[in-house]
Amino acid sequence: MKATIAVLPGDGIGPEVTRAAVEVLRAVARKDGGYQFSFVEHPIGGAAIDACGEPLPAQTLAACRSADAVLLGAVGGPKWSDPDAKVRPEQGLLALRAALGVYANLRPVRVHPRLASLSPLKNDKLHHVDMLFLRELTGGAYFGAKTRSADDASDECRYSVAEIERVARRAFALARLRRKHVTHVDKANVLETSRLWRSTVARVAQEFPDVTLEHQLVDSMAMLLLTRPSAYDVIVTENLFGDILTDEAAALAGSLGLLPSASLGDGKAGLYEPIHGSAPDIAGQGLANPLGAILSAALLLRHSLELEYAATDIEYAVDRVIERGVLTPDLGGDANTAEVTAAVIDLLGTGECRVAA
């Protein structure tokens, strides 16, 4: 099995966690002689602005389009954050998501029992937390028309039925493989776009009579995520709500540094990135938690390369590393990025029992 993976390290801790994920993928290939991964690295975000004046250079995009999958670190940072700047690192990431057509952003959230004590919530609320966010990724306020004058600004939020249908179908199809429950999150008491979401999702639900659907307003959802997180299975929502709620959900898991994501369109190619940002406060110090990026590499193997066994192997190794307490400081440990990565690699291939079960 041969695959080309485009690697976009980006800014801040992006290169540190991306290096960790690539090392794990190389180790997977080494341990199983049947896989041949080739990695092509390209700039994006602030690094690309510095190198060529634009956040998504044509060469980077071309490499991503021709790759089997894209692995990305993070973009952005104080150097490029002037509110009056004409070009921003984040524009590169948004343009890439749009160009690849990856409208469905999967963000799984699980709570490892060993980390439950790190959460600000009572331990007993965290038992059996296992949810999957489906965040719409290429529409809404992120991509609507923008205006700005000296004393006025606007961001248009617009959704079409087709955009809602395709991500909703994906949510129901994924729920079928899980606990068959979908929570759709909106602000239908105020927003017209939310009312279109609500009726469209309800219509799509009829194609999946074995899956239960509930609607939840986003403000109360922000509270419910903390008070009864184990009640949720698949959560589908628009772009901006999904961005905010998933960072909140990361607090349940113990750290923003733990959560992976897969962004998928209609084909097999996908974009894989941890949900965290460039973490300028800890960049360059070896303190970054690489597990979100490493788990994103596992999602890459599962969704783009159909290597389910190898994906589960990485996830199993990550679980064991957490159990053994090899943790970066964000999780209360004193291991560095390289030590956590090495511990994951060490445990690859030891999970046969679980995979076979």
Given 68, 130, 155, 247, the catalytic residue: 247
Annotated active-site residue 219? The verdict is yes
In the complex, the smallest distance separating the C-beta of residue 99 from ligand NAD, rounded to whole angstroms, is: 16
User: Which candidate, 132, 134, 56, places its Cα nearest to that of 98?
Assistant: 56
In the complex, the smallest distance separating the C-beta of residue 56 from ligand IPM, rounded to whole angstroms, is: 12
In the complex, the smallest distance separating the C-beta of residue 15 from ligand IPM, rounded to whole angstroms, is: 16
State the DSSP code for 221.
H
Residue 275 touches ligand IPM, criterion: CB under 6 A:
yes
Residues that bind ligand NAD (CB under 6 A): 13, 17, 74-77, 81, 90, 93, 256-257, 273, 276-282, 288-289, 292, 328, 330
- Pairing assessment for the beta strands 181-186 and 234-237 based on DSSP bridges: parallel
243 vs 315, which CB is nearer to Mn ion?
243
Three-state DSSP class for residue 335: coil
72 vs 305, which CB is nearer to ligand IPM?
72
- Contact between 314 and 28 (Cβ < 8 Å): yes
**Residue 127: what are its φ and ψ, rounded to 5°?**
-60, 135
Burial of residue 177, with CB atoms counted within 10 A of its CB: 0-12 exposed, 13-18 middle, 19 or more buried: exposed
In the complex, the smallest distance separating the C-beta of residue 102 from ligand NAD, rounded to whole angstroms, is: 13
Annotated active-site residue 50? The verdict is no
List the interface residues with Mn ion, window 237-266 (CB under 5 A): 243
- The runs of H, that is alpha helices, within 230-336 are 239-253, 291-303, 308-323
Where does this chain touch ligand IPM (CB under 6 A) — which range of 10-18, 88-96, 118-126, 250-258?
88-96
Residue 243 touches ligand IPM, criterion: CB under 6 A:
yes
Q: How many residues bind ligand IPM (CB under 6 A)?
A: 7
| Side-chain-facing half-sphere of 186: CA atoms under 13 Å | 23
Dihedral of the alpha carbons of 312, 341, 253, 325, in degrees to the nearest 10: 110
Given 11, 243, 313, 330, the catalytic residue: 243
Annotated active-site residue 268? The verdict is no
10 vs 139, which CB is nearer to ligand NAD?
10
Out of 43, 57, 76, 257, the only residue in the binding site for ligand IPM (CB under 6 A) is 76
Given 142, 232, 272, 316, the catalytic residue: 142
d(CA 268, CA 307): 12
139 vs 351, which CB is nearer to Mn ion?
139
Residue 273 touches Mn ion, criterion: CB under 5 A:
no
User: Which candidate, 194, 280, 278, 276, places its Cα nearest to that of 241?
Assistant: 194
Annotated active-site residue 247? The verdict is yes
Burial of residue 109, with CB atoms counted within 10 A of its CB: 0-12 exposed, 13-18 middle, 19 or more buried: buried
Q: Which residues are catalytic?
A: 142, 187, 219, 243, 247
Can you give the binding site for Mn ion, defined by CB under 5 A?
243
Can you give the binding site for ligand IPM, defined by CB under 6 A?
76, 90, 93-94, 243, 275, 277
